[in-house]
Amino acid sequence: MRDMHSHPRGIAPTLLAMTLFLSACGDPLGWREEILLPDGRVVTAVRYQEFNGPSEPFKPPTASNYRLEFRNPDTGEKVIWEYSRDLATVALSINDKIPELVTTPNYATLRFRCPDPPYVAFRYIDGQWARVALTDLTRKVFVPNMTVWDIRYLRPSIEAQGGRWSARDVAAHLPEKFRGKTIDLTGLDRQRFGDPKQCSQPDNWWFAEDRAAGEQ
């Protein structure tokens, strides 16, 4: 008589392999990322991503808190950015020795009141990051130059390169909505908030190429 607790050959090893895979995907990821600044300089940031976010059954956990640090090339100061997955990095610039970081709402668009255009900006002053209005950014035109959103899908490629992600890799693996785009905020009079429809609407009219094409 067959043991009721036995498994067909291959099932138990498969479950074990899946368990090990999911466990590995939950491990944090660290890597060195090149950031090509708008002025042509390259800053190397040390990035760290945790994977403790919620997920569906039998799927790896999603990205959660993350951290990055780099040296200000003008002052030599170590600059650290830490945040939850609610905001994803988009672009870094250093203007008059002051770093400015543009992010985009990730899992919590409503928390940031459905911004239009969909960006949240910060400036690093006196050792800390402070939120600033998009209209107050020193640089109004910029190109996405950092990894954006869930790094889980890039993990195999990053690990295959020894944990080093070049500026060319960053540009080539940006999400489609950011890849090869220039964000132009020069015509922005003020950022608008509060329209829930904006949270799910496309926002590519804030890319310079798309706006120019629409004006022809």
93-147: pLDDT as tens digits: 999 999 999 999 887 677 888 899 999 999 999 999 999 999 999 999 999 999 9
Q: Say how far residue 87 (Cα) sits from the centre of its chain.
A: 7
The pLDDT value recorded for residue 62 is 84
Q: Where are the domains positioned within the chain?
A: 27-215
Q: Which two tokens stand for residue 138?
A: 């020193």
**3-17, 89-103, 185-199: the lowest-pLDDT one:** 3-17
CA nearest to 130, candidates 81, 84, 94, 93? 81
CA nearest to 145, candidates 192, 187, 94? 94
CA nearest to 183, candidates 215, 211, 141? 141
Q: Which two tokens stand for residue 215?
A: 């004006």
Residue 106 to residue 81: CA distance in whole angstroms: 16
7-65: pLDDT as tens digits: 444 434 444 443 444 444 579 999 999 999 999 999 999 999 999 987 788 888 888 89
